[in-house]
């Protein structure tokens, strides 16, 4: 059974860089797409972007100028970097796994990120 | 971007009721749609994928239907553990987009 374990700083100041990692345990890393999704407090889910094991990525255009999603196959790890954060980036961030032809099934535990001014 | 219009945004119902939630896509997405349940403080859990396929382990009172632009999630007989928030997700075209969510509350 696959486990997606997230790590990263939970408290940031405006203009800093949000950095999160998602490490995959218990299953093959390849042949999947790895997504990042966030949820502001009290609001709905927002798709941030995704990457596959070959490094092919797709981003939400609204975040693209500040966003980097990368993959490290040697560590079975996916990373999210969001630059120049503001209070609007305060959210719970999730990583999730899907196969190409389907929707995410396995999710990380979520990381609560708060941006203060 | 494809807009997913989910309705209603909230719903009050009783145990045993049959409820239906709808998602409309701003353009055709074939059957590239999933339904998720989210409980407070938890990650979403997939209930339905490919618009109508029940996720393994999910009770059969949940069902999905639709294709193209209109999709529904039906819960045939509400149980106490079903009171949660539900989201649809389209993964046909980037960026993938979620519906706004439906909060199902106990009447």
Quick one: DSSP state of residue A15? T
CA–CA separation, A37 and A54 (whole Å): 20
User: What average pLDDT does this structure show over A31-39?
Assistant: 94
Other beta carbons less than 10 A from residue B70's beta carbon: 12
pLDDT digits (tens, 9 = 90+) for A41-92: 999 999 999 999 889 999 999 999 999 999 998 899 999 999 999 999 999 9
Average pLDDT, chain B: 97
* pLDDT for the residue A1: 83
Q: Which residue of B has its CA nearest to A4?
A: B43
Sort out which chain B residues have CB atoms less than 8 A from A46's CB and list them.
98
Interface touch B87/A105, C-beta < 8 Å:
no
Residue ranges with strand state E in B14-92 = 19-25, 33-38, 45-49, 53-54, 62-67, 70-75, 85-90
User: What average pLDDT does this structure show over B30-38?
Assistant: 98
CA–CA separation, B93 and B22 (whole Å): 20
Confidence of residue A31 (pLDDT cuts 50, 70, 90): confident
* pLDDT for the residue B62: 98
Residue B65 backbone phi and psi in degrees, to 5: -150, 165
Sort out which chain A residues have CB atoms less than 8 A from B89's CB and list them.
45, 47, 103-104
User: What average pLDDT does this structure show over B24-53?
Assistant: 97
Interface touch A104/B46, C-beta < 8 Å:
yes
């Amino acid at each position: 059974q696959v486990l997606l374990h997230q790590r990263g700083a939970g408290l940031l100041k405006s203009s800093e860089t949000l950095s999160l990692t998602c490490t995959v345990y218990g299953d093959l890393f390849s042949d999947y797409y790895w997504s990042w999704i966030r949820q502001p407090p009290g609001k709905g889910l927002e798709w941030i972007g995704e990457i596959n094991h070959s490094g092919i990525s797709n981003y939400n255009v609204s975040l693209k100028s500040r966003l980097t999603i990368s993959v490290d196959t040697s560590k079975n790890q996916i990373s999210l970097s969001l630059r120049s954060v503001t209070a609007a980036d305060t959210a719970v961030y999730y990583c999730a796994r899907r196969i190409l032809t389907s929707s995410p099934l396995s999710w990380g535990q979520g990381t609560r990120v708060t941006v203060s001014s | 971007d494809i807009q997913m219009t989910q309705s209603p945004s909230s719903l009050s119902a009783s145990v045993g009721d049959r409820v239906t939630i709808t998602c409309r896509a701003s353009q055709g997405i074939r059957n590239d749609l999933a339904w998720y349940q989210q409980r407070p403080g938890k990650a979403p859990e997939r209930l339905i994928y490919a618009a109508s396929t029940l996720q393994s382990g999910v009770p059969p009172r949940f069902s999905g239907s639709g294709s193209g632009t209109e999709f529904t999630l039906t819960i045939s007989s509400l149980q106490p553990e079903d009171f949660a928030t539900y989201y649809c997700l389209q993964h046909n075209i980037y960026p993938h987009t979620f519906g706004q969510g439906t909060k199902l509350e106990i009447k």
